[in-house]
Amino acid sequence: MDLVEVSPNADPPVARIVDWGKYNYQKTKQAQKTRQKSLDLKQMRVGLKIGEHDLQVKLRKVIEFLEAGHKVRITVIYRGRELAHKELGYQLAERIQGILGEDVVTDQTPQFAGRMLSFVVRKK
């Protein structure tokens, strides 16, 4: 057991009799918890034939994610014969980037994989 000064700035200073090893372990664990920031990668999926209003609703949610500090993967899904017109997905991706504006940066450019075109955006 050791005498440990818990709060030196208090008036009068606070000291406790504690097991130093256990106290030090708890302090380091507490410091590690506060340093962690859960920076998640959120995902928003849109179809190729999405309507204007539906797109606006989804992009509002994307902006909420970005304001919270998350990165967002936006995925354009191709169905059926839509694969014959891959350029429409790239046009939709450009349109989405234009709507999101200047304060959003594209981390990963649009990449085509399987039946999906995806790209990652984050806040500046």
pLDDT in tens, 32-51: 876 666 678 899 999 999 99
Mean per-residue pLDDT of the chain: 89
Per-residue confidence band for 1, with pLDDT thresholds at 50, 70 and 90: confident
Per residue in 17-28, is it b (16+ CB within 10 Å) or e — as a string?
eeeeeeeeeeee
Per-residue confidence band for 119, with pLDDT thresholds at 50, 70 and 90: very high
Q: What is the structure's pLDDT at 78?
A: 93
Domains and CATH numbers, the chain: 2-35 (no CATH), 41-123 (3.30.110.10)
Q: How many helices (H) and strands (E) does the chain have?
A: 3, 6
Residue 20 predicted with pLDDT over 90: no
Check if the beta carbon of residue 32 is closer than 8 Å to that of residue 24. no
